[in-house]
Structure 1
Amino acid sequence: MSDKPVEQMSFEEAMAELEKLVVQLEKGEVPLEESITLYERGEALKAHCEKKLKAAEEKVATITTDASGNPTGTAPLDPQ
């Protein structure tokens, strides 16, 4: 488990650590107290990844294109 704060991780770093935690927990070889700590870290990593994905989706959704499908710029996500 990394000592790096979750908020400072890139999406890729967080996903890689989350995958490692899942493997550890699935093996069932971790003591109960450590399992709880790993689970809590996993929840934080999951939330962080979801936040990063949502932000990326919002950016992608705002790219505007012309009739041919070529990018022409960006538009606000909420045009109001």
Structure 2
Amino acid sequence: MRKVSISILFMLVSLTWGTTWLAMRIAVETIPPVFATGMRFMFAAPFLIIIAWLRKKTLLFPPGQRLFQFVICIFYFCIPFSLMI
């Protein structure tokens, strides 16, 4: 991949993640944090499924890496989003 493409994709990811936290900060003022987080993942899941389908890739991790990925999920998603409560 070209260096320019990588830079643009990196900026897009940074912008997306940054605005997500801003949106969550605004959303928790009107709806419960767990519901707001659930809605966020509910809207993101179809996009991931479509991307995986278009690329003909599975969303499952290889059997030898599932425990590691579960631990990453707990520390990267579950704990931080639970702390918003």
Q: TM-score range by the shorter chain?
A: 0.3 to 0.5
TM-score with structure 2 setting the length: 0.35
Structure scoring higher RCO (CA < 8 A, sep ≥ 6) equals 2
Q: Give the TM-score normalised by structure 1.
A: 0.37
More helix by share: 2
More strand, by proportion: 1
Larger Rg: 1
